[in-house]
Structure 1
Amino acid sequence: MHVLISGASVAGPALAFWLHRHGIDVTVVERAPALREGGYCVDIRGVALDVVARMGLREALRPLEADTLENVMVDERGRRFGRMPRGFGVIDPDDVEILRGDLARVLFTATRAQVRYRFGDSVAALRQHERGVDVTFAGGDTATFDLVVGADGVHSQVRALAFGPERECLRAMGSAMAIFTAPNHLGLHRQQLLYSGLRRIASVKSTHGDRDLMCAVFFAHRDDFDHRDVPAQRRLVAAAFADAGWEFPRLIAAMQRADDFYCDLTCQIRLPTLSRGRVALVGDAAYCPSPLSGQGTSLALVGAYVLAVELARSADLSTALLRYDERVLPFVRRNQDIALKLGGGFAPGSPFQVRVRRLAMKLMPYMPGSSLMMKLAMRGIREASRDLELPPPIHAPAAVAPESIAMGTSGQA
């Protein structure tokens, strides 16, 4: 069986890892000229931790984990309050918080010797037929694969080619986000500062041995947005935080120079099925829950594992893809629904709500049972992250002859 994966961030290399382990030939194509190292901290929790353990990569991730000692609230005058232990995204002690680029590098390193990586290229056209999928690459080459998997992010080209326009599956959540690196002029030492203002929030944390600040900002936005127009995105962020006070003038100036700047809408991808014929989707291309959820990476790791197991245990492609849908979609929906609830109140909508939220955070560290209250507040995320029984691993490679890779009648292209 020959599989093409489009995208070399997290979902793509994770899927390539498992496919190779199950004896399936894999090629990964990535639009970027090299592995993309940027990105904010991502979280691995729930059953995704079991996936990482089954990969044998838990120890490889340990020295790369974010070592944040505390998170602290800050207001527009720079006053700090509401100190709480560990990073804000860590719900349980076993959760992994790691920079997206570090996780991508670990996955790439674990697969590059066994998997063909094709950087600086992308999928330009697909033609499905009974024997496979004819792929035309942007560079002009052509090849045929038994299965093509889009792991190319929320604006997936593979999804657009096989499933139709993005507008039919993208659900905007009324806000936008931006991520960038700045020099650590604040002198933070293993700290995360959280700002909550009127219709905007921000997280600023020290990283890379306290050398840099990793900044993530969110702000209300319901107008048109072009994810390809980076200068317009920088202007949008600057306008959203122009009167936010504190250190935002210096942070926005650093944003204008940052070479890792990323900005997009907070949104979800909701599809009724995760495959069309011989084309499947995994990760944000299939089920982005939105960055507000903190669950995107965990869903990607779990989805990649389940898809690989189902492909390995069945010679009938349509049956494997149907089982992938049946296992993963309910899990995805529960996590997406949690994100919708969180997204509805991502930032205060009035000055009164700003004051109430800040007062609550000021009092939280001094309230009896505050840690229990935080656990109860995060219970929905915790339960959703565990709401899937992983299929058992297949230890022996599946020896499937190419001619036996059939499509059932329900999966014909």
Structure 2
Amino acid sequence: MTKPHAVIIGGGVAGLAAAWWLDKAGWQSTIIERAKSLRNRGYMVSLTGLGYETVKKMDLYDRLKAISYTIDENIYKNSKGKELIRLHYRDFVNDLPYLAVSRSDLVTVLANALPVGAKLCPDTHVLTLEKSADGYKIELNNHDILHCDMVLGCDGLRSSLRQQYFDKDGKSLQPLGYCFAVYDINHVKDFDYDFLSYVEPRHFAEYYSLHDGKLAALHIWRDERSNPHITADGYQLLKQIVRGSNRQVRDLLSIAQKEKAPILVDSLTMVDLPQWYNGKMLLLGDAAHCLTLISGQGAGMALASTEMLGMALAKYQNIEQAFTVHDRQLRPIIKRLQERTRKMAPMFVPATAFTFHLRNIVLKFMPKSWLYHYFTNAVKSEIALTHSL
């Protein structure tokens, strides 16, 4: 008997994980990835709660654990180099199990775990997508024609599938008032703690060492425009942002620019869609419900949502019924996470000197038990909510 066929658009965390869970549900899949190679840039992600449970069910825990990072101490300094706060990650998670991995490592592990029934097609994109009697007919840029029973849109925050079929006016995009940039630097870590962060009103820069010896950099800065223009020259933009920052921040940026290190620049924008599926087409991950890095749950929820989909497809032969069950399970969790992100966003990188100093004082003197209970109770409630549905 021929297995049903899904075309997955996007070879990131959601797309690769979806192929794995579809295989468990008795499906075959083709993953269409526009880039010539899998994503090799991105920030650190922490897998806790539902995302952590999903990678264990996929038997990926040992592989991810072997390449995970130890996160203990994060030192926050101001633009003059004075230490402001010293935070320990364990103050947030205590005994809650977690994995800290780079997004690129997570993508690599997922790609290496692809089942035989999943075909990955890099350097490929969709030219035309038409409904057929029993699914969809898709023409690719290499002139291949695919026939499939279902289409999954896993093409990220800037999803072309979402824009074409779900949100032509872009009303689902909700900028949080920030932009971010990530890049790697050929520079050996010269600090003893795991993370070094330079913070100032309207800007935040964080550095940590990668397994290959490079230094990873993450910048986040305020930009309250509803549609911030992201220039093609990310380094020139960042030079303006960091002109009043600590000397080390400016020097490391100059090193990366001279090396012509690839840089990713974008806005922190949530996606809030009232409908994630349309017929036999479904959006997953950031394409459906981007949470932004403020939530700390984007990659984990992308993984968990693909598990929910796979389990629903295994139980229900009707695709749209499976989509309905997936929506009913996932939406309350996403809604809660997005509400939390909206509340946290104003204090993430304070806009004024007053709110900046107030935030630092609160973090410095707040009992660590409060941080622990807030974070762990939120994660445990999401797990409990899923298990109750």
Match of 2:223 in 1: 221
Structure 1 residues 104, 248: CA separation in 2 closer, same or farther (over 3 Å shift)? same
Equivalent residue, structure 1, for 2:239? 238
Runs of 4+ more than 6 Å apart:
none
1:26 aligns with 2:26: no
Which runs of structure 2 are paired with 1:129-168 in the superposition (5 Å)?
129-165=132-168, 167-168=170-171
Instruction: Report the Cα distance in structure 1 between the residues aligned to 2:261 and 2:313, rounded to whole angstroms.
Output: 39
> d(CA) in 1 for partners of 2:95 and 2:294?
18
Q: Report if the CA contact (8 A) 1:72-1:80 is conserved.
A: yes
User: Displacement, 1:190?
Assistant: 5.2
Q: What's the offset of the Cα at 1:79?
A: 2.3
CA contact under 8 A between 1:71 and 1:88: conserved in structure 2?
Answer: no
Q: Distance in 2 between matches of 1:323 and 1:48?
A: 19
Does the C-alpha gap of structure 1 residues 347 and 44 become closer, same or farther in structure 2, counting only changes over 3 Å? same
Retained in 2: the 8 A contact 1:27–1:117?
yes
Matched ranges for 1:294-373 at <5 A = 294-363=296-365, 370-373=367-370
Amino acid at match of 2:240: A
Give CA deviations for 1:161-197 in whole Å, capped at 9, x if unaligned: 3213261211111111111112335513451012221
CA distance in 1, matches of 2:381, 2:169: 26
- Return 5+ residue gaps in structure 1 as ranges: 365-369, 393-413
| 1:76-134 deviation digits (Å, cap 9, x = unpaired) | 12223432334898675411110001111111101164411101001232212331111
Q: Secondary structure at the match of 1:302?
A: helix
Instruction: Specify whether residues 197 and 58 from structure 1 end up closer, same or farther in structure 2 by C-alpha distance, changes over 3 A only.
Output: same
Which deviates more, 375-384 or 311-320?
Answer: 375-384
**1:340, distance to aligned residue in structure 2 (A):** 0.9
Matched, 1:41 2:44: yes
The one-letter code of the counterpart of 2:101 is I
Q: State how far apart, in whole Å, the 1-side matches of 2:360 and 2:345 are.
A: 18
Q: Distance in 1 between matches of 2:137 and 2:384?
A: 37
SS of aligned partner of 1:208:
coil
Counterpart of 1:235, as a letter, is Q
1:377 and 1:315 mapped to 2: Cα distance?
A: 40
% identity of equivalent residues: 24
CA contact (8 A) 2:24 2:310 kept: no
* Whole-angstrom distance in 2 between the partners of 1:37 and 1:11: 15
Which whole-Å CA distance do the structure 2 matches of 1:64 and 1:347 have between them?
A: 30
One-letter amino acid of the structure 1 residue matched with residue 178 of structure 2: S
How far apart in 2 are the matches of 1:7 and 1:337? 27
Q: 1:204 aligns with which of 202, 207, 213?
A: 207
> Structure 2: which amino acid aligns with 1:139?
N
Does the CA-based 8 Å contact 1:123-1:158 persist in structure 2? no
Aligned to 2:274: 272
Alpha carbons 2:154, 2:284 under 8 Å: kept? yes
Rounded Cα–Cα distance in structure 1 between residues aligned with 2:280 and 2:229: 30
Q: Which amino acid is 2:14 matched to? A: A
Instruction: State the number of aligned residues.
Output: 384
Cα RMSD (Å): 2.3
2:92–2:368 CA contact under 8 A, matched in 1: no
Could you tell me which amino acid in structure 2 is paired with residue 275 of structure 1? Y
The change in CA–CA distance for 1:219 and 1:92 in structure 2 (over 3 A counts) is farther
Distance, in Å, in 1 between the alignment partners of 2:101 and 2:70 is: 9
CA distance in 2, matches of 1:58, 1:351: 43
CA shift in 2, pair 1:91/1:285, >3 Å = farther
Q: Distance in 2 between matches of 1:312 and 1:326?
A: 16
Measure how far apart 1:387 and its partner are.
Answer: 4.9
CA shift for structure 1 position 312: 1.8
- Kindly tell me: are residues 128 and 226 of structure 1, through their superposed partners in 2, closer, same or farther at Cα, counting changes over 3 Å? farther
- Matching residue of 1:128: 131
